Amino acid sequence: MKKRLAFLLAALAVVMAAIAASSDNGRNDDDTPQRIVTFVKEEHEPEWYARQAKLWRAVTEREPKNEEAWMALYHATRYHIMFTDEDYTPLTDIWKAMRKAVPDTYADYKLTYCHAQFVGLHDGEPEAQPDGMERIMQNMVKAIRMRPDEVNAYPDYVACLMKTGDRELLDDILKRWYDSGTYSASLLNYAYNEMIGLPDDAIIFTNGDADTYSKLILQGGKGLFAGVKVVCAPMLWSEHYRETVCRELGITACETPSGATEEEYDAWQERAELYIISQTGRPAYFGAGAKRQPSFADKLYSEGLVSRYSERRYDNLAAKRRNYESRYLTDYLYETFVPETYEASAYKLNLNYIPCLKSLLDWYKEEGDKDRYRELHSMMTTILRRTENVPWEKRQSYYDEINR
């Protein structure tokens, strides 16, 4: 008994010594700054971003020439502000401090470009001069050429090159992004199903990062749907992007954005979309991820995951059936064999299948097509079962909808 007790005490001493050594010589995970990636790919609570900003700030204070630390501090602070609606002043302070610490570097060029997009530049800053944005974008292109394989920066690279119109460099980055294997296979599948039913000369208006980049990667990375013009509607506020889009479509640039309120800007965006449609005469489609219904919603006809703009009524249910029954690749909705790299957005985007195909589900039921009804119903319930990063109440509302 005494030997056993002595053994246990000795073992306990070893464990306690190890814990003490860990405490003295190392840091726990809470004290180790973590990599900051786009919230579209990996979303955290605001408190997490605040904690990371504090940890990365400490690194910049110890190592003021550490470019990676400055970029992590900037983006952690940016995401914390985004999710809390706080003032952007701290972000501007970080940007100015970074420029003094690591001028004319990759971090300087990239973060100055990002800052101009997120926060804007103010009078008195050299970059706010008339030619300032031109120089910022030129420097961002330098940054892209410095680090063409910086995978985590690809969203910013692509956004910049969409504005400059440098198609060769854009396609190169899109090919690298695809070849890296880091982009979500689910988002690419979803984008494929959006685009597979479009005419070769179609225009598709997108709403944000996930539904824009996925389509561009299919074009530049896979060589698919080359004739389709992808237009990110919220980016039309950018003069550079607006002029590039209109030039590539062969039309005169649309009017300059106007309005100080969100409602006024939304009205301008609708006018810009309608202008592009009327001036090009090309078939126009809209993705399902818009934050609101446009004023011309009565001219949008759902063909599944996308809606076509049309001045005249037509049998859009036939197009929806054709897309779902003959064109969509849906195996990925049931099972995948690669890790999901964009959990924050991929599963949520898949929820669009339910409202987009609900009318088709009802039609199968009315027509007595039991096999098709069971198949589509099973697909919808599978999507809901796999969408764990959405509150239960919202998922339940979808269950209620498909079973109504």
Where along the chain do its domains lie?
Answer: 1-28, 31-167, 183-402
pLDDT digits (tens, 9 = 90+) for 95-117: 999 999 999 999 999 999 999 98
Residue-level pLDDT at 3: 42
Q: What stretches of 119-153 show up as alpha helix (H) in DSSP?
A: 132-146
Task: Please check the confidence at residue 13 and state whether its pLDDT lies above 50.
Answer: no
Least confident of 79-88, 250-259, 266-275, 308-317: 250-259
Residue-level pLDDT at 42: 87
Least confident of 1-5, 97-101, 233-237: 1-5
Residue-level pLDDT at 23: 41
- Compute the Cα dihedral for 225, 229, 232, 238 and give only its sign: positive
* Residue matched to tokens 């579209």: 40
Residue-level pLDDT at 344: 78
Average pLDDT over residues 151-174: 96
Number of helices and strands in the chain (H, E): 17, 5
More confident: 392 or 369: 369
pLDDT digits (tens, 9 = 90+) for 133-158: 899 999 999 999 999 999 999 999 99
Angle value at C-alpha 214, between 210 and 218, nearest 5 degrees? 175
Q: Exposure of 232 by Cβ count < 10 A (0-12 exposed, 13-18 middle, 19+ buried)?
A: buried
Task: Please check the confidence at residue 1 and state whether its pLDDT lies above 60.
Answer: no
Decide: 258 and 179 in contact? Cβ < 8 Å.
Answer: no
Task: Please check the confidence at residue 277 and state whether its pLDDT lies above 90.
Answer: yes
pLDDT digits (tens, 9 = 90+) for 72-95: 999 999 999 999 988 889 999 999
CATH topology for 31-167? Answer: 1.25.40
The DSSP bridge pattern shows strands 300-302 and 284-287 to be unpaired
Task: Please check the confidence at residue 24 and state whether its pLDDT lies above 50.
Answer: no
Could you tell me which residues are beta bridge partners of residue 248?
none
**Residue 308: phi, psi to the nearest 5?**
-95, 140
Task: Please check the confidence at residue 61 and state whether its pLDDT lies above 90.
Answer: yes
Pairwise CA distance, residues 285 & 298, whole Å: 14
Using DSSP, state whether 128 is helix, strand or coil.
Answer: helix
pLDDT-derived band at 122, boundaries 50, 70, 90: low
Decide: 111 and 95 in contact? Cβ < 8 Å.
Answer: yes
Percentage of residues in the chain with pLDDT exceeding 90? 74
Residue-level pLDDT at 132: 85
Question: What spatial distance separates the first Cα and last Cα of the chain, rounded to whole Å?
Answer: 70
How far is residue 320 CA from its own chain's centroid? 26
Least confident of 21-35, 112-126, 302-316, 342-356: 21-35
Least confident of 76-80, 208-212, 245-249, 328-332: 208-212
Decide: 118 and 88 in contact? Cβ < 8 Å.
Answer: yes
Pairwise CA distance, residues 369 & 144, whole Å: 53
CA torsion 86→88→94→99, rounded to 10°? 170
Pairwise CA distance, residues 387 & 116, whole Å: 35
pLDDT digits (tens, 9 = 90+) for 310-354: 999 999 999 999 999 999 999 999 999 988 888 878 888 999 999
Q: What is the pTM of this model?
A: 0.87
